[in-house]
Structure 1
Amino acid sequence: MNSSRLFSLLFHGNLVKRIFIGLLLGILVALISPSLNALVGFNLADKVGILGQIFVRSLRSVAPILVFILVIAAIANKKVGSKSSMKDIVVLYLIGTFLAALTAVLASFIFPSKVALVTGDHSLSPPGELSEVMSGLIFNVIDNPITALFNANFIGILAWAIGLGVALRHASEATKNVVNDFAEAVSKIVHFIIAFAPIGVFGLVAETLGDKGLQALGQYIHLLAVLIGAMLFVAFVINPILVFWKIRRNPFPLVWTCVRESGLTAFLTRSSAANIPVNMALAKRLNLDEETYSVSIPLGANINMAGAAITITILTLSAVYTLGVEVSIPTALLLSVVATVCACGASGVSGGSLLLIPLACSLFGISNDIAAQMIGVGFIIGVLQDSTETALNSSTDVLFTAAVCISQEEDNK
C-alpha cells in the first residue's frame, strides 16, 4: 500500500469505519505484543500507547476553550420564537433532556460500570455531603475567568460563558458575528483533533488491553450496553409518556414513525445537523405547522440532547465508580441538572458530547486528566454509542414538535 492510500485510509472517509479499524488494530497489537516482546526487546502495546496519550492530552487542552466559546455563541445568537407553541416545545426539550439524565443516573446505580484508568499520583478530593458539593460549586462559579480557563475549572467556565452569552444577546450583529466566527474556528480545531481519533483509539486500546488484558474489553462492552439500554429506555418509555401527556392518545404510532424515518437516518449519518432536512421533510408529511417546525427543528438540533445527557452522565459516573467515590442521591440529582446544561451546550461535531465530560466530572473532584481518559473511552465505544445518541437526539426533535403541534390542533377544535 503506497503512502497516499495509507494517508487516505487514516484521515479520510467515514469516521466510524476508521475508528473501528483503529479498535481492531489496537486489539491485534495487544494480543501479539507478548509474543513479540522477546523478539524486539520491548512491549509494542506499551510503546504505541503514546499515540493514545497524545490524543487524550489534545482533548484535555481543547475542552475548556471549546465549552467557553460555544456556550457564549449559542446563547448570544439564540433566536427563540415568540409563538406559544415554541415555548411549549422548548419546555418539552428541556424536560426530556433532564429525564434522560435522570434515567442515566438510575441505570448507573443499577448497573454500575467501571473501566481501566491510569490514575497515577493524581490527588482526588471526593465530596462528602451535599453542602460540601454546593459550597465547592459556588466557589467555582465565582472563580476568576482567566484562572478558570487556566485550571480547567469547568463550572466557572460555564458560569462565565452563560453570563457573557446573556450580555451579548444585546450586542450588535457585527459583535455576534465575531463570536460566531470564534466558535467556528474552535470547532474546526476540534474537527482536526477528532480526525486523529482512529490513531488515538488504536493507542488507547493497545495500551489498555496490553496492560489489563481482555477483561478490559468486557468493561467497555458493559459500559456500552448500559449506555444503549438507557437510550432505548428513553426512546420507547420516557418519550412516549411525554408525548401521551401532550396528545392524550396512543403515542406509539407517532414514536415509531419518528424513530423509523428520522432516527434511522441519524444513526447512519451521526449528525443532528445533517438530519435537519430529513426532519423538516417528515414534519411536512405529518402536516405540522411550518412556521413552528421551521424554527423548532433547527433549535432542537442544538438544545434537545437527551442522548448527550445520557452519555455525559453514565461516563462521568463510570469514572466515579472506578475511583471508588460514593455518590449520594442529592449529588446524583445535581449531576442530572449539570448534565442537562452540558448537553444543551454540546458541540455539533461527532463525539461533541464527550468533550463536556470533564465539566460533569468536576462535581466530584475528579482531575481533568482522568476525565480526559473517559473522553478517550467514549471514542473507543463511540462506534455504536455516538450513532445511537444521534438517533435519539434527532428523532426526538421532530417527535416533540409533532406532539405540541397536534396538541394545539386538538385544543383549537
Structure 2
Amino acid sequence: MKKLGLLPRIVIAIALGIAIGSFSPEWLIRGAATFNDLFSGFLSFAIPLIIIAFIAPGIGAMGRGAGKALGLTAGIAYASTVIAGLIAFLSATILYPILLGSQASRAFENPEEALLSGYFGIEMTPVMGIMSALLLSFVLGIGISAFKNSILQKGLEEFRTIIQKLIEKIIIPLLPIHIFGIFANMTQGGQVSAIINVFLLVFVMIIILHVLYLVMLYTTAGSLHGKSPFKMLKNMMPAYFTALGTQSSASTIPVTLEQSKKMGVREKTADFCVPLLANIHLAGSTITLVSCAMAVMLIQGDVATFGQIFPFILMLGVTMIAAPGVPGGAVVASLGLLESMLGFSGAMTSLMLALYLAQDSLGTAANVTGDGAISSIVDRFTKRKVKSENAVKAG
C-alpha cells in the first residue's frame, strides 16, 4: 500500500471502512476509534508547530530579494486566492441548500452521538494556541526578513525541515488509517450513505469551480496580451496533469516553468514567478477547502455565514504560504483555522480531512495551472514598466 499514491490509499481506506464497519463488532470499531482519538490529539499538538515552521520562514523569504516584482506577484497571488475563496463561498451558499439540504436534515441530526468513542485517550496539550502561533510566526517572519543569512533564519529553516519530515513520514502515512476508522465508525452509526452522497456532489461542484476559475484567470491574462485564453490554457495542460499525479506544486515546478515560457512569458519573469507562486498561490486549494468546510458545517447542522467565512479566507491566504510540498499539505496547514475560526470539533476535522484529501490532486492541479496565468499577468505589467523606464532614459 505504501507504493500507492495518497489518493488511491484514501479511496481504499474509505472502501475498507465501509465494508468492515458494516459487520464488525463494537469492540473493533471502538479500537479504531481509540486510534482516531490519539491521532486527532497528536494533530492538535502538531498544528501550532506546523504553523510556525512554514509561515515564519515563508514570510521571511518573501521579504528578501526582488522588491517591487515580489510585491506585485505576491499581491496578485493573494488577490487570486481570496477571489477564489469568495467564489466558492457564493457557489456553496446558493447550491448547498439545494444539493445537500435533504442529506443534512435526514442523516445528521445528532452526528456526534452516533459515533462510538475510543477505549481511552491521552491528553496532548499544544505548546500554544492557534492565534499565538500565527502571531509568533508573523513576528519571526518579519524579523528575519530584515537580516540576511541570520542564525534564526537558518534555525527556522531547519525546524521547517523537521516538521516537513513529521508530515511526510508520520502524519500523511497514518491519515488513511485515520480515515478508515472514521468511515468504519460512521458506517456502524448509519451515516455513511449520506456522507458518500455529499462527497460526490461536492466533488462535482469543485471540479466545475476549478474549471470556471481557470477560464477567468486566463481570460484576464489573454486580454492583457491579446491572446486566446483557451490556447494559453491548453498550453498549460502538461503542468495540470503532472500536478494531478504528483499532488505537489513544488514537484511540478519544472513543467510549469517550461510551459509558461512556451506560452510567451519572458524567461526572467517565469524563473522568478513560478517557484514563488508554487508556494503562495493556492486558489485551487482554497476553492476546495472553502467548499469542503462549508459542506462539513452544513451536514453537521451549521450554516456558514459571510462573517465567518470571509476572515477564514483572508487568513487561509496567509496560513498556506510555503505550505509543505507534500500531498495534503494545504489542509494540514489550515486545520488550526478550521478549529479556531469555524469551530470545528474533532469529528468535523476528521470528516474534513477525508473530504479534502479525496480531492487534493484537483486543487493542486488548479494551483499550478493558475500559476501560468499569473506569471503572464506579472510579465505584462513588468514589461510595461521596463518600456516606461527606457522611454524616460531615452528622453
TM-score, reference length from structure 2: 0.81
Q: Does 1:377 align with 2:368?
A: no
Matches within 5 A, 1:275-354: 275-354=252-331
Structure-2 residue corresponding to 1:136 = none
User: Structure 2 vs 1, CA of residues 188 and 56 (structure 1 numbering), >3 Å: closer, same or farther?
Assistant: same
Tell me the CA shift for residue 300 of structure 1. 0.5
User: Structure 2 vs 1, CA of residues 224 and 319 (structure 1 numbering), >3 Å: closer, same or farther?
Assistant: same
Matches within 5 A, 1:332-411: 332-355=309-332, 356-364=334-342, 366-367=343-344, 369-370=346-347, 372-378=349-355, 382-383=357-358, 385-406=359-380, 409=383
Q: Is the 8 A contact 1:315 1:357 kept in 2?
A: no
Structure-1 residue corresponding to 2:228 = 250
State the Cα deviation string for residues 187-228 of structure 1 (Å, max 9, x = none): 111112111122222111111122124222212223323333
User: Structure 2 vs 1, CA of residues 373 and 386 (structure 1 numbering), >3 Å: closer, same or farther?
Assistant: same
The one of 159, 164, 167 aligned to 2:140: 164
* Secondary structure of the structure 2 residue equivalent to 1:195: helix
Structure-2 residue corresponding to 1:32 = 23
Structure-1 residue corresponding to 2:7 = 16
Aligned AA (1:401): S
User: Structure 2 vs 1, CA of residues 233 and 46 (structure 1 numbering), >3 Å: closer, same or farther?
Assistant: farther
Matches within 5 A, 1:209-248: 209-211=187-189, 212-236=191-215, 238-244=216-222, 246-248=224-226
Q: Is the 8 A contact 2:47 2:335 kept in 1?
A: no
Structure-1 residue corresponding to 2:94 = 110
Structure-2 residue corresponding to 1:95 = 79
Q: Is the 8 A contact 1:76 1:167 kept in 2?
A: yes
**Alpha carbon RMSD of aligned pairs, Å?**
2.9
Matches within 5 A, 1:251-266: 251-258=229-236, 260-266=237-243
Tell me the CA shift for residue 54 of structure 1. 3.5
Q: Is the 8 A contact 1:101 1:340 kept in 2?
A: no
Distance 1:49 1:76 in 2: 40
* Secondary structure of the structure 2 residue equivalent to 1:196: helix
Tell me the CA shift for residue 43 of structure 1. 5.8
Structure-2 residue corresponding to 1:137 = none
Q: Is the 8 A contact 2:56 2:137 kept in 1?
A: yes
Q: Tell me which moved more, 207-216 or 48-57.
A: 48-57
* Secondary structure of the structure 2 residue equivalent to 1:264: helix
Q: Does 1:155 align with 2:131?
A: yes
Q: Is the 8 A contact 1:85 1:292 kept in 2?
A: no
* Secondary structure of the structure 1 residue equivalent to 2:23: helix
User: Structure 2 vs 1, CA of residues 245 and 97 (structure 1 numbering), >3 Å: closer, same or farther?
Assistant: farther
Q: Tell me which moved more, 203-212 or 343-352.
A: 343-352
Q: Is the 8 A contact 2:222 2:232 kept in 1?
A: no
TM-score, reference length from structure 1: 0.78
Aligned AA (1:183): R
Distance 2:283 2:175 in 1: 24
User: Structure 2 vs 1, CA of residues 214 and 332 (structure 1 numbering), >3 Å: closer, same or farther?
Assistant: closer
